[in-house]
């Protein structure tokens, strides 16, 4: 089945040169909320490595949706920088996509300059914040901001937008019973909990017209008892198909309740805490981190079983993500009826991974799933310990863990 990977993939009005997407993994390369030369260089390298579409990650649609000072915020003032980014991607033959979303109760008040927003105002222990429940004015404004973000993306040269409706961020917070305790038309039954998502997709679809492909990342399950279930995911996927999404990216996990369900493995908390400037917060992570971020065993194609349930329920293109480490993994996914694959850590470890898949019959990623790259992004930019000698204070930690000699 491997040859299918290098056939063109149609998503909406766009055609990818093959069936691979660089998944929207947060790069941490946007100081002052604008693209940096490092962000441009990284996506250029992934595109040169023959990926079909490279997705720029974690762009907030408005300031209230920001979690980090080095996170993208889509606004007209950075349009020229975004155009440089899309030009770099497309010059190397890939299409350019950008993930748009709102962090909701995960927003950082020091960055978003206000109390975080959420469906119900429930205390977020993971983000140590007490958000306020969104009123109807908040909801209408944020929905409109999604449309504005799409228009900026279009004018900046992007070919697609990926609406982030998973992982426990704002749209996912409305979908999940873990965080949505509303008693109005936006809470309670699943159709009510989907109402905010439907309004966002309608706004995005209207703003995109036929100029941009619209993809949606959604959860298969939240990975936490009492959260969104797989049965509900079937209804959500069906709703998104009816609302006009061009493709779905099937993921899972809720960052404030089941963080390692998303990527699996262990979070190296010593790496995460090494750059935290606040000594109290640093001690908090070291002491309580193992309880808040427990490991989840890694296995290849770990979302595939759940994703196949969605495959049997909808007809629109489905993009699989999760545990892809080799051509054999990809062949298994494509043979199961999925149109494409999204790859994250393997392309952080080696931006030319897709080119190797084309050249080598038994190509396997050099990624060891240690999650060093993920542990860094809370304070600095992503990096793989295999691609560079880690800088202090990471060097001693990496030596202790055996990442480097």
Which residues are known catalytic residues?
169
DSSP state at residue 18:
S
Distance CA 220, CA 310 (A): 8
For 289-293, the CB contacts below 8 A with 24+ separation are 292/125, 292/126, 292/259, 293/259, 293/260, 293/267, 293/269
Structure tokens at 46: 């992934």
| Residue among 65, 56, 111, 60 at smallest CA distance from 87 | 56
What crossing angle do the helices spanning 195-208 and 230-242 adopt, rounded to 10°? 30
SS3 content of the chain, % helix, strand, coil (to 5): 40, 15, 45
**Roughly how many angstroms between the first and final C-alpha of the chain, as a whole number?**
39
Determine the distance from the C-alpha atom of residue 370 to the mean position of all C-alpha atoms in its chain, rounded to a whole number: 18
Q: Structure tokens of 226?
A: 């009492």
Peptide bond into 8 cis (omega under 30): no
Closest CA relative to residue 176, chosen from 94, 120, 127: 120
Tokens of 294: 């427990």
């Amino acid at each position: 089945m491997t040859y299918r990977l290098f056939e063109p993939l149609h998503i909406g009005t766009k055609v990818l040169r093959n069936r691979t997407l660089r998944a929207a993994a947060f790069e941490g390369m946007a100081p002052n909320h604008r693209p940096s030369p490092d962000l441009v260089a990284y996506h250029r390298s992934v595109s040169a490595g023959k990926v079909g579409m490279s997705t720029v990650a974690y762009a907030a649609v408005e300031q209230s949706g920001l979690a980090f000072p080095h996170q993208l915020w889509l606004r007209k003032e950075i349009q020229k920088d975004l155009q440089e980014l899309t030009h770099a991607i497309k010059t190397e033959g890939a299409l350019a996509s950008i993930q748009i979303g709102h962090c909701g109760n995960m927003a950082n008040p020091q960055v978003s300059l206000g109390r975080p927003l959420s469906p119900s105002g429930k205390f977020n222990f993971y983000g140590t914040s007490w958000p306020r429940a969104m009123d109807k004015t908040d909801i209408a404004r944020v929905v409109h901001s999604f449309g504005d973000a799409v228009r900026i993306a279009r004018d900046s040269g992007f070919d697609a937008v990926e609406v982030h409706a998973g992982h426990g961020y704002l749209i996912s917070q409305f979908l999940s019973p873990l965080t949505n305790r509303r008693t109005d038309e936006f809470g309670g039954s699943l159709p009510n909990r989907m109402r905010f998502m439907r309004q966002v997709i309608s706004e995005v679809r209207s703003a995109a017209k036929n100029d941009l492909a619209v993809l949606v990342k959604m959860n298969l399950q939240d990975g936490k008892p009492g959260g969104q279930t797989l049965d509900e995911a079937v209804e959500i996927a069906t709703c998104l198909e009816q609302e006009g999404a061009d493709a779905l990216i099937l993921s899972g996990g809720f960052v404030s309740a089941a963080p390692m369900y998303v990527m699996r493995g262990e979070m190296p908390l010593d790496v995460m805490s090494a750059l935290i400037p606040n000594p109290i917060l640093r001690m908090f992570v070291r002491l309580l981190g193992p309880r808040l971020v427990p490991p989840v065993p890694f296995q290849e194609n770990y979302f595939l079983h759940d994703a196949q349930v969605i495959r049997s329920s909808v007809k629109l293109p489905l993009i699989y993500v999760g545990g892809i480490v080799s051509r054999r993994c990809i062949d298994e996914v494509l043979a199961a009826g999925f149109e494409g694959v999204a790859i994250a850590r393997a392309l952080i470890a080696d931006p030319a991974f897709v080119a190797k898949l084309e050249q080598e019959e038994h190509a396997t990623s050099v990624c060891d799933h240690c999650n060093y790259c993920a542990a860094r992004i809370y304070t600095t930019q992503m990096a793989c310990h295999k691609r560079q000698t880690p800088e202090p204070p990471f060097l001693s930690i990496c030596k202790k863990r055996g990442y480097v000699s």
